[in-house]
Chain A
């Protein structure tokens, strides 16, 4: 079943202009953070959005939970169009869709006790009274491994380690028994030896609640571990979507291959490196045609003229490239 469908979604952020530029009445400029992306997510799937900083993956996540307002396109969740739903219409959806942020230091209210932080959504959504909410929160603390729960209930965020705070953020997101989670780099600020536990915790809830998870990460190793499908973004566009193993064993887009050949790995293997020229272009004025073309070793003249569409290549594999690496097996 399709849980979420994104169609041609766009979000442009206006660039702050200096006084002088306003005086000169220069044309308004925009950062094209998300520039027409489409994908489908099936229920109970973990779908990862991967890419480098500035590719638009975080903005995509924030658009889906409607922390940002889309400029164009469609977001269809469980069959209903929520693209431009107002706050009142969003209310019931907020119960079903939750987000977990990267920074467990910034995402928890420092003045609230851990227990209250976790119980709050139940009260906000008038699902439980104070006493029931407390009981639920205690159960949830146990569930996320913060034991003894009565002790953790009374603590404040600053008394917890980063890993423990991320457990609190997960507990708060899960207490409403959501259907859909956006997890935005949930382990990238956590120490290496504690990451595994947080990822396992997420997967436990996935099974428990039949969750669908949109997982946003720059880390392909983490994406490989937890996702069913991976979509790769570059400069506001999706360049490739495929089932996880398929994408890693057989990348079709030169950008995906360049990413894969740069990730450090403990597996000793012959690395056929794909090296891109230069650096990521400015998202205010992205290159014409395929946005990778100035950096791509396989680019030909069509690449600078025509934007490639996301095309089906079998095995649930989609790629937006005029010259996909079909015969260049990895």
Chain B
């Protein structure tokens, strides 16, 4: 079995809007190993969610995958027909979104929704599917009688557990979790993250954790990928990226956030994130970068390999 589960190669995803073309994901390459949690970190507009949705090919109508490859277990997902792709979703890739209220059907009982997903992919009886759904709910810490609940009868944390049950019931190879705990309070967030981590161990899946919170990623992910303005700027094991961030943006991000257990001064990153209809030339971070040199303005830096596990896209390391 290959070590790499998912390989994204030179992916470009553009949105065609009234204002022009938004280059939301622009030439991103990223490899994710089996049984690995990768934190995809960035601010709003960085392209992190677009990247997540592109993997399962669930982009909004204006969004187009312009070029690149997304290879899951040797299979290029971009070459699949729509019906083949539908089989991949749910079965091979599970999805957990930020707001379970909008991704669960409000008119359908939780159990029926899980059963429907199961029957779409596996040829078993309805009764067997119900047993599977009940088991899935127990796995996520909900009593099986919740099968008969409607989404509105559950709390935010419980709904997210249902989403996770839905995403994991068919034992996918990969789970994409897009801000799965952003709408939740910290205590519930912590429990949901514990749950994801334990399911990862049990099911031997990989998880892409899309989050704006680098502290959360640092605690839960094996590796962190930092995105800014549609580019992937740094990719490294979590410990290394936190203790020794290489890219000036990663450094700035870490310096700008307060920490409950540290007495520290925070420093803001000057300026604002760019408009992706008209991104800055060269390195997209150069207008905000304290170390920018003339070259940064002119030429986009290549992704530089520091060692087997560390990559950074910055002229400082070329």
Q: Which residues of A contact B (CB under 8 A)?
A: 52-53, 161, 163, 191-197, 199-200, 218, 220-225, 245, 248, 258-269, 276, 279
Contact = CB atoms under 8 A, between A and B. Distances in A.
Contact of B259 (A193, A196, A197, A221): A221
B146 to A, nearest CB: 13
Chain A facing B: main interface SS: helix
Contact of B257 (A200, A221, A223, A279): A221
B162 to A, nearest CB: 14
B259 A266 contact: yes
B294 interface: no
B185, B214, B272: residue with the most chain A Cβ atoms closer than 10 Å = B185
Given A192-B257, A264-B218, A265-B219, 19 more contacts: A161-B272, A191-B44, A192-B212, A192-B214, A193-B253, A193-B268, A196-B267, A196-B269, A218-B185, A223-B260, A224-B260, A225-B258, A248-B261, A261-B190, A262-B189, A263-B260, A264-B216, A267-B259, A267-B262
B157 interface: yes
Contacts of A266: 214-215, 218, 242, 254, 257, 259, 262
A192 B253 contact: yes
Contacts of B190: 261-262
A196 B272 contact: no
Contacts of A223: 260
Interface string B174-186: 0000000000011
Contact of A222 (B188, B258, B261): B258
B4 to A, nearest CB: 28
Contacts, number: 103
Interface in B216-256: 216, 218-220, 239, 242, 252-254, 256
B187 interface: yes
A265 B260 CA distance: 7
A185 to B, nearest CB: 13
Contacts of A245: 263
Can you list the 5 inter-chain pairs with the closest CB atoms, starting with the nearest?
Answer: A262-B190, A225-B258, A196-B268, A52-B185, A264-B215
A195 B259 contact: no
Contacts of B185: 52-53, 218
Nearest to B211: A264
B157 A221 contact: no
B43 interface: yes
B16 to A, nearest CB: 22
A263 B186 CA distance: 6
Most buried by B among A220, A260, A261, A264: A264
Contacts of A221: 215, 257-260
A24 B266 CA distance: 57
A265 B215 contact: yes
Contacts of A197: 268
A233 B247 CA distance: 39
A225 B266 contact: yes
B216 A224 contact: no
A225 B187 CA distance: 20
Contact of A163 (B186, B242, B272): B272
Contact of B186 (A52, A161, A192): A52
A211 to B, nearest CB: 19
Interface in B145-203: 155, 157-158, 185-190
A192 B43 contact: yes
Nearest to B261: A267
Contact of A264 (B43, B213, B268, B273): B213
B260 A220 contact: yes
A223 B215 CA distance: 16
Contacts of B157: 279
Contacts of B186: 52, 218, 220, 259, 262-263
Contacts of A258: 187
B193 to A, nearest CB: 8
Contacts of A194: 268-269, 272
A321 to B, nearest CB: 17
Contacts of B216: 264
Nearest to A261: B190
Interface in B264-318: 264, 266-269, 272-273
Contacts of B43: 191-193
18 contacts: A52-B186, A191-B44, A192-B212, A192-B214, A193-B273, A195-B256, A195-B257, A199-B266, A221-B258, A248-B260, A248-B261, A260-B260, A264-B218, A265-B219, A265-B261, A266-B215, A276-B187, A279-B188
Contacts of B189: 262
B236 to A, nearest CB: 14
A279 B273 contact: no
A218 B188 CA distance: 13
